[in-house]
Amino acid sequence: MTEAGGKSLTPDVVLIAGPTASGKSALGAALAARLGGEIVNADSMQVYRELRVLTARPNDDEERLVPHHLYGHVSGGTLYSTGQWLEDCLGAIADVRSRGRVPIILGGTGLYFQALTEGFVDMPPIPDDVRRVVRAEVADMGPQAAHVQLRQVDPRWAAQVNANDPQRIARGLEVFRATGRALTDWHDDPVEPPLCGSALRLVLAPERDWLYERINRRFDLMLEAGGLREVETLLSCGFPDHLPVMKSLGAPELRSYLAGDMKLDEARLLAQTKSRQYAKRQMTWFRRRMIAWNMVSAQDLESQLIKIFSFIDDFGLTHRP
């Protein structure tokens, strides 16, 4: 939308990042109503159709109020990559724009936002046999021993990866095994940022105690809403343990309860602890990688919306009501 002089009245795209349970969905819905927008998912777990409760995917009422894209559109049996998400996201953005609407990219996966705003290296695909061998090796030796190997072939990637994160450790090892180059060397290759046009970039940065309380309370609500049944259904699908869908926040702990390895309250407390740790890692990523983004407090969403709308208006990005 433009005015007579050609000045943009709406951003071409809105980007909203934030840790789990920080209120991203509520902010996205409010901005969608204000700007005439549609929401596009940027959360690596909410893409899986088998996970709705444990990933806090938008419910039917929310999806009726605002069109949502790339939620629950992938089978849990799929190893869905950042490159595939980027391709799907760009297609969704073009689709939303073709109808004169504003795409609102919303989620907590920092790597997705990095790929969209900075570019994504088109490295050769990893052969299935290499991936299977590497992941089996990591599972056999354990993530900490595998992390030692990773430091030898890609010390920069190892410095970014938690020593207890087998998926990202295996990613670095399989890329080196298949291509002979470190993953971070591939990342150094020059790329063109896929996202073009004006963008409003927001990061929800809540106060820690407030966020942790919300995380704890939300997991209890997930249990009440059928989170345990969702894990039972997930197990009935027979997906291999190494797939990301099997490692969603809360799923491993509830699986341990179902297997009789721990009591339900123990599983609940452990899942809440790991969710808080994950949120901390998310915020570390955002603060280090999204320096130029607008950091927004999340404690009082209503007052923050007033500030955000004022910011949009002051920069001529949208009509006043």
Residue 220 is inside which H or E element, if any? helix 208-224
Residue 132 and residue 39 in one domain? no
Residue owning tokens 């452990």? 270
Q: Verify that 113 and 208 share a domain, yes or no.
A: yes
Q: Which of 179, 62, 43 is nearest to 105 (CA)?
A: 43
More confident residue, 242 or 82: 82
Model confidence pLDDT, tens digit, residues 228-277: 999 999 999 999 888 899 999 999 999 999 999 999 999 999 999 999 99
**Sheet containing 294-296: order of strands:** 68-69, 37-41, 102-107, 13-17, 199-204, 294-296
pLDDT at 19 > cutoff 90: yes
Contacts of 243 (CB under 8 A, 6+ apart): 76, 77, 79
Predicted local confidence at residue 60, as pLDDT: 86
In a domain, 2, yes or no: no
Residue 12 has pLDDT above 70, yes or no: yes
Residue 255: both structure tokens together: 């699986």
For 262, the domain range is 13-120+191-314
Residues 151, 158 contacting (CB under 8 angstroms)? yes
Domain's final residue, options 188, 208, 237 = 188
Residues 6+ apart with CB under 8 A from 143: 163, 164, 165, 166, 169
| Contact call for residues 268 and 283 (beta carbons, < 8 A) | no
CATH of the domain at 183: 1.10.20.140
CA-to-CA distance for 239 and 79, rounded, in angstroms?
11
b/e map of 205-214 (b: 16 or more CB within 10 Å)?
bbeeeebbeb
Structural domain ending residue among the three candidates 188, 204, 228: 188
pLDDT tens by residue, 138-192:
999 999 999 999 999 999 999 999 998 898 999 999 999 999 999 999 888 878 8
Contacts of 235 (CB under 8 A, 6+ apart): 255, 258
